[in-house]
Amino acid sequence: MNSYHPLENRYNTMKYRRCGNSGIKLPEISLGLWHNFGDIDNFETAKKTIQTAFDAGITHFDLANNYGPPPGSAETNFGKILKADFSGYRDEMLISSKAGYTMWDGPYGDWGSKKYLVSSLDQSLKRLQLDYVDIFYHHRPDPATPLEETMSTLDLIVRQGKALYVGLSNYDTPDFIKAVNILKKLGTPCIIHQPKYSMFERWVEDSLLNTLENEQVGCIPFSPLAQGLLTNKYLKGIPENSRLAKPHGFLTEAYATPEKIEKARKLNEIALKREQSLAQMAIAWLLKDKRVSSVLVGASSPEQLTDSLKSTENIEFSQEELQLIEEILNR
């Protein structure tokens, strides 16, 4: 018997934005399952976090073949949660997955070949216990496989009914333009791009954001909190239980420089004046740009997700605030 019953007013508070030139709208905050949903994590906490997300009007859940650890386990766990708690709600959910990073041994378990992408999505669908995903992304450009092969595979996957829409992730502007033009000719337009984008990682502002706007493609930044640097966690130094203290984490001491931690402290002072946490302000700072369709947040607990959701309550910045933020970031 399903013990979870979603809140009836779940769509009353979340705001939704059109995703590029497509027919879909995305919640301003989407839930990313990159961390915290693998077999090494607490399953009950993961389940409660997903329930909390849905109750708050989050409809979009973002995965990839290699999310875990171990790789694949985030999809497996999400599939179990879907089956147990959301069997009647699939059509209210937008579920995405990706392929492009190492997933299995040998020459066909990585990058962008037709062989890899088709096999990977078939595996993902089995783990998720789904017939299709809503968005399927190529996770990163492959320098060795012709772009035509990779893009025609995305087109094929849509025609097979295994995905409804396609997206790209981690593509720079020149590769993105080439890929988008191939997809247009094939008749399966790219509707969304997922770049790494935060106050500390702003390469997309050089040309990619303008290109996305011109091509009418949505933008969904990942790592909006710079792997935790744009939270209050590191303001007093590096705590023992943090991601930075773990030997195999994505966040390294080379990345968490004293300069960055000092910038975070200064940014935190602005956030406090705005009556926001540093994390809430960092998310709001991305959402202030209308070219951003949604921001992907991770969450290690329902409480952390609820805290991130509060960022949508104030995404307006005064010119003075923006100027101060620029001065801090450009120091």
Is the pLDDT reported for residue 253 higher than 90? Answer: no
Pairing mode of beta strands 16-18, 133-138: unpaired
124 φ, ψ (degrees, to nearest 5): -60, -45
Q: Which amino acid type is present at position 251?
A: L
Predicted confidence at residue 3, as pLDDT, reads: 87
pLDDT for 175-209, tens place per residue? 999 999 999 999 999 999 999 999 999 999 999 99
d(Cα 30, Cα 189) in Å, to the nearest integer? 22
pLDDT at 240 over 70: no
- What is the spatial distance between Cα 299 and Cα 306, in angstroms, rounded to a whole number? 9
Q: Is the pLDDT of residue 27 over 70?
A: yes
* Pairing label, strands 94-99, 133-138: parallel
The band of 255, judged by pLDDT with boundaries at 50, 70 and 90, is confident
pLDDT of residue 256: 84
Contact 190, 163 (CB under 8 A): no
Q: Is the pLDDT of residue 249 over 60?
A: no
Q: Does pLDDT of 2 surpass 80?
A: no
In the prediction, which pLDDT does 242 show? 64
**32-61, pLDDT tens digit by residue?**
999 999 999 999 999 999 999 999 999 999
139 contacts: CB under 8 Å, gap ≥ 6: 64, 98, 99, 100, 101, 169, 170
Label residue 166 by pLDDT band (50, 70, 90). very high
The pLDDT score that the predictor gives to residue 236 is: 81
Residue pair 300/36 in contact (Cβ under 8 Å)? The answer is yes
More confident residue, 246 or 303: 303
Interval 71-110: pLDDT, tens:
999 999 999 999 999 999 999 999 999 999 999 999 999 9
Of 100 and 256, the structure prediction assigns the larger pLDDT to 100
All residues at 6 or more sequence positions from 150 whose CB lies less than 8 Å from its CB, including other chains: 112, 113, 114, 117, 138, 142, 179
Percent of all residues in the chain with a pLDDT value above 90, rounded to a whole number: 91
Coil, strand or helix at 268 = helix
C-beta separation of 179 from 151 below 8 A:
yes
Structure token pair of residue 300: 């290690």
**Is the pLDDT reported for residue 159 higher than 90?**
yes
Instruction: Measure the CA–CA gap between 112 and 99, rounded to whole angstroms.
Output: 8
CATH class of 16-228+290-300: alpha beta
- Residue 245, pLDDT > 60, answer no
Residues 31 and 58 sit within 8 Å (Cβ to Cβ): yes
Q: What is the mean pLDDT of residues 220-226?
A: 97
Answer yes or no: pTM beyond 0.85: yes
DSSP letter at 44?
H
The amino acid present at 55, given as its one-letter code, is D
Better-predicted residue by pLDDT, 247 or 221: 221
| pLDDT band at residue 239 using 50, 70 and 90 as cut-offs | low
For the chain, the domains span: 16-228+290-300
Q: How many of the other CB atoms lie within 10 Å of CB of 236?
A: 9
What is the residue whose two structure tokens read 């766990």?
77
**For all residues of the chain together, what is the average pLDDT?**
95
The CA distance from 60 to 314, in Å, is 21
Taking the C-alpha atoms of residue 256 and residue 260, their distance in angstroms, rounded to an integer, is 6
Helix (H) or strand (E) holding 190: strand 190-194
Poorest-confidence range of 58-72, 233-247, 277-291?
233-247
**3-class DSSP state of 113:** coil
CA angle in degrees (0–180, nearest 5) for 315-57-14: 30
Mean pLDDT throughout 239-249? 59
Q: Is residue 248 over pLDDT 60?
A: no
Provide the residue type at 290 as one letter: K
